[in-house]
Amino acid sequence: MKLAPFIPSGSFQDAERNAILKDAKNALLSICESALTLALMLNGSKTEYLWAQDYNFTLDPSHVEVVGTVGYQSFEDCKGDYLVIFGGVSKGGGLQGKLSDNPVHLSDTDVVLGPFPA
């Protein structure tokens, strides 16, 4: 029922709409199960992980992927005027898996560069 607002009314017949909702729910179920399994695995791990989603987080330019821009041409030029679309994940390094000990970047942080109106 929560998926219904994402499908414009009038675009499909009721039978088609119900089939689309059922397919979407089935697709989301496997994604949610995978996310839950991963969360449980990470919860039991002694290794530290960091998700760089917050815009206040200082990002390493070598681990940033610019997926869009409304002005600036490079991450270095924007001087912090960016919006994080999807945060990157870092895993702690060394024997103890600490983020302070040579962290490993598992995925880059996707950003859109500004300038954005105030």
Q: Is 16 left (phi over 0), alpha (psi -120 to 50) or beta?
A: alpha
| Mean per-residue pLDDT, 80-102 | 91
- Strands of the chain (E only): list them: 49-52, 64-69, 82-86, 88-91, 104-107, 109-113
Is 80 exceeded by the pLDDT of residue 7? no
115 upstream amide cis, omega within 30 of 0: yes
Helix (H) or strand (E) holding 11: none
**pTM for the full predicted model:** 0.59
Chain mean pLDDT for the chain = 84
* Residue 38 CB burial class (10 angstroms; 0-12, 13-18, ≥19): exposed
pLDDT of 1 reads: 47
Residue 56 carries which side chain, given as an amino acid letter? N
Determine the 3-state secondary structure of 81 from DSSP: coil
Domain ranges, ordered by start, for the chain: 1-44, 46-118
Least confident segment among 4-13, 24-33, 43-52, 105-114: 4-13
The pLDDT tens digits of the residues spanning 22-51 come to: 888 888 888 888 888 888 887 778 889 888
Residues 86 and 67: their CA atoms lie apart, in Å, by 10
CA 89 to chain centre: 9
Residues 60 and 109: their CA atoms lie apart, in Å, by 9
